[in-house]
């Protein structure tokens, strides 16, 4: 069984997220979604999410293709969740930038065997959280 890990704020699930979830199923059998902590969102995006992290997790629980939902660890080591859950594939959002360098470094320097893949954008001029959550 191949495990795919995805990351996101998921602050209001939209069709762009749904596309990411479906693309994840093309890369593996088990999908793990890591939901950014509220504090991490504030640091990365410069503002608080519209929905509390528990609400965002609850919304993802309604998505059938997601098998496991993990709140980000919120510590200084953003790759610890990857080491703890050992995915076979990490599927990055097409525009994901936060912590990507750390993930590539982990892939190169650790003994964990995973690949990093970029998702294809789904109507990015319409379905982008930064546009929808204004």
pLDDT one-digit tens code per residue, 2-50: 999 999 999 999 999 999 999 999 999 999 999 999 999 999 999 999 9
Mapping DSSP to helix (H, G, I), strand (E, B) and coil, where does residue 34 land? Answer: strand
Q: Which residue intervals of the chain are DSSP H helices?
A: 15-27, 38-45, 53-60, 80-85, 100-109, 129-132
pLDDT computed for residue 91 by the predictor: 98
- Answer whether 0.75 is exceeded by the pTM: yes
| Structural domain boundaries, residue 68 | 3-132
pLDDT band at 131 (very low <50, low <70, confident <90, very high): low
Q: Are 30 and 4 in contact (CB under 8 A)?
A: yes
- Cβ neighbors of 98 (< 8 A, separation 6 or more) are 44
Is residue 123's pLDDT more than 90?
no
How many domains does the chain divide into? 1
The Cα 96–Cα 49 span in angstroms is 16
Q: What is the CATH number of the domain that holds 48?
A: 3.40.50.620
* Tens digit of each residue's pLDDT (9 = 90 or more) over 61-84: 999 999 999 999 987 788 999 999
- Separation of alpha carbons 40 and 102, rounded Å: 15
């Amino acid at each position: 069984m191949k495990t795919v890990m995805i990351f996101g704020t998921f602050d209001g699930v939209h069709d762009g997220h749904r596309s990411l979830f479906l693309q994840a199923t093309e890369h593996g059998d088990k999908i793990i979604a890591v939901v950014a902590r509220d504090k991490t969102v504030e640091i990365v995006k410069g503002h608080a999410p519209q929905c509390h992290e528990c609400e965002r997790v609850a919304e993802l629980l309604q998505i059938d293709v997601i098998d496991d939902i993990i709140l980000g660890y919120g510590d200084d080591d953003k790759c610890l969740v990857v080491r703890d859950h050992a995915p076979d594939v990490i599927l990055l959002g097409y525009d994901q930038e936060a912590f990507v360098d750390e993930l590539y470094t982990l892939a190169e320097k650790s003994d964990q065997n995973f690949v990093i893949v970029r998702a294809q954008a789904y109507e990015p001029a319409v379905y982008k959280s930064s546009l929808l959550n204004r």
